[in-house]
Amino acid sequence: MKRKRVLLIITSLILTMSLVLSGCGMKEDGEEQLKENSVTESTEPTEDESAASDNEEGTPFNEHGTLSVNVTDLVDSGGNKIQLKGMSTHGLAWFPEYVNKDTFEWLRDDWKANCIRLAMYTDENGGYCSGGDQEQLKSKVREGVDIATGLGMYVIIDWHVLSDQDPNKYKDQAKSFFDEMSESYGEQGNVLYEICNEPNGSATWESVTAYANEVIPVIRANDPDSVILVGTPTWSQDIDKAAAAPLPFDNVMYTLHFYAATHTDWLRDRMEQCISNGLPVFVSEFGICDASGNGSVDIGQADQWKELINKYNVSYMCWNLSNKDESSAVIKAGCNELSGWSDDELSDEGKWVRGWMRVDTQ
Ligand code: DCB
């Protein structure tokens, strides 16, 4: 961890000196770089460039630095508890337009989000392992990481297992994907890896463990200390199974997903019990409608989730950043704006979650 900060400082100093010599302002250069990245999509910034933009003053990453897991808490580089909060994209193949600087910046500044989750489906139509254009999908992920990095936000790379059910189905592809990603971002402290969104159906905690025991070492070889999120069976509801047999790695958190109109007291009780028993839990996806991602929202249940999540300082990422005609989309169908949304342009879930993030700012 220390090495990363020293590296950041040295690279920033070198960059500042060369910019001063060339008579150019650092911020302008950073912005220019970002514009270039979003146009060319697949351009990967060099370490110097990403390090320089990481350090932009006052941003979440600048304030908190590299994260780690301390028993049940996510903590920042100073050892203080931190709650990541923000939006998950919808499938990157289907709603790529929301991966852009204006959107992330608006979420950071207006919604007070400090994190973005990049959801890349693996087995649905256009998924990474089911006919999607892998190079294009990877460059979308890289674009998202680079934009978040430029804005000093944390970013989660999500291998969005869903209809594949058991993550072992595409284990080899997951290993090479995470090898590539962690090789690129191993030196950056703002990147988290989510190795399987929601195991379900035939997947058991034993099969997820077998998968994690192969994928995590691949990431660790490139990135020894990043935070890694691991999904649990039954669409990331069975955290109790993980609590009974946690993985043998540091800086791992187990994901709990909820949809407030479907998952109520029993899942909250489970979360509270697992945390009390020492399990680090991360809510990497939730909605306040039903488990289909649609149907009516349940504000009463959502408020109870919010209270519990804040009580334990659990990180939370809301599903989903799109204008799809469904109640989990935070932007209303028909609104094509990519930032600057007014209340009228947000769905009920959008208004509610923005309110949550803004009130509990850190
Ligand atoms: C999860 C998935 C996520 C899914 C949402 C809402 O699935 F991680 O991918 O998102 O929760 O169901 C939905 C989108 C739709 C899209 C559909 C298929 O909102 O626009 O068409 O994915 O790609 C869950 C979560 C919980 C449960 C079931 C599912 N559950 N599920 O508790 O039964 O079957 O998708």
Lowest mean pLDDT among 54-68, 137-151, 152-166: 54-68
Q: Is 156 in the pocket of ligand 1 (CB under 6 A)?
A: no
Task: Kindly state the tokens that stand for 203.
Answer: 């997947």
Distance 285 CA to ligand 1 centre (A): 10
**C-alpha to C-alpha distances, 5 to 10, 12, 64, 187, 294, nearest whole angstrom:** 9, 10, 12, 10, 43
More confident residue, 57 or 119: 119
Q: What are the residue ranges spanned by the domains of the chain? A: 2-41, 58-359
Compute the average pLDDT of residues 171-184: 98
Give pLDDT, residue 273.
Answer: 98
Residue 34 confidence (pLDDT) above 50:
no
Task: Kindly state the tokens that stand for 357.
Answer: 């993030």
Q: Is residue 190 a contact partner of residue 1, using CB atoms and an 8 Å limit?
A: no
Distance 278 CA to ligand 1 centre (A): 28
Active-site residue, from 124, 198, 326, 349: 198
- 3-state secondary structure labels for all residues of 31-51: HHHHHHHHHHCCCCCCHHHHH
From CA 81, how far away is CA 64, in angstroms rounded? 10
Phi, psi of 115 (to 5 degrees): -150, 150
Closest protein CA for atom 33 of ligand 1: 291
Closest protein CA for atom 6 of ligand 1: 293
Residue 219 confidence (pLDDT) above 70:
yes
Active-site residue, from 49, 124, 194, 285: 285
Give pLDDT, residue 57.
Answer: 81
Distance 163 CA to ligand 1 centre (A): 9
From CA 321, how far away is CA 143, in angstroms rounded? 16
Q: Which residue has the tokens 């008579």?
A: 23
Closest protein CA for atom 15 of ligand 1: 293
Residue 347 confidence (pLDDT) above 80:
yes
Residue 252 confidence (pLDDT) above 50:
yes
From CA 124, how far away is CA 60, in angstroms rounded? 33
- Percent pLDDT > 70 in the chain is 84
Phi, psi of 296 (to 5 degrees): -80, 155
* Fold exhibited by the domain 58-359: TIM Barrel (3.20.20)
Q: How confident is the model over 8-33, as pLDDT tens digits?
A: 444 444 434 443 333 333 322 322 23
Compute the average pLDDT of residues 261-279: 98
Active site residue 198: yes
Task: Kindly state the tokens that stand for 342.
Answer: 């007014």
Give pLDDT, residue 54.
Answer: 46
Closest protein CA for atom 2 of ligand 1: 162
Task: Kindly state the tokens that stand for 185.
Answer: 């971002």
Q: Is 159 in the pocket of ligand 1 (CB under 6 A)?
A: no
Compute the average pLDDT of residues 250-278: 98
Q: Is 293 in the pocket of ligand 1 (CB under 6 A)?
A: yes
Residue 44 confidence (pLDDT) above 50:
no
Strands 85-89 and 252-259: unpaired
Taking all residues of the chain, what is their mean pLDDT, rounded to a whole number? 88
Give pLDDT, residue 10.
Answer: 46
Q: Is residue 306 a contact partner of residue 356, using CB atoms and an 8 Å limit?
A: yes
Compute the average pLDDT of residues 106-135: 98
Task: Kindly state the tokens that stand for 277.
Answer: 């028993």
Contacts of 95 (CB under 8 A, 6+ apart): 89, 321, 322, 324
- 3-state secondary structure labels for all residues of the chain: CHHHHHHHHHHHHHHHHHHHHCCCCHHHHHHHHHHHHHHHCCCCCCHHHHHHHHCCCCCHHHHHCCCEEECCEEECCCCCECCCEEEEECCCCCCHHHCCHHHHHHHHHCCCCCEEEEEEECCCCCCCCCCCCHHHHHHHHHHHHHHHHHCCCEEEEEEECCCCCCHHHHHHHHHHHHHHHHHHHCCCCCEEEECCCCCCCCCCHHHHHHHHHHHHHHHHHHCCCCCEEECCHHHHCCHHHHHHCCCCCCCEEEEEEEECCCCCHHHHHHHHHHHHCCCCEEEEEEECCCCCCCCCCCHHHHHHHHHHHHHCCCCEEEEEECCCCCCCCCECCCCCCCCCCCHHHECHHHHHHHHHHHHCCC
Task: Kindly state the tokens that stand for 337.
Answer: 């704006």
Considering the entire predicted model, what is its pTM?
Answer: 0.87
Distance 328 CA to ligand 1 centre (A): 10
More confident residue, 180 or 7: 180
Contacts of 23 (CB under 8 A, 6+ apart): none
Q: Is 104 in the pocket of ligand 1 (CB under 6 A)?
A: no
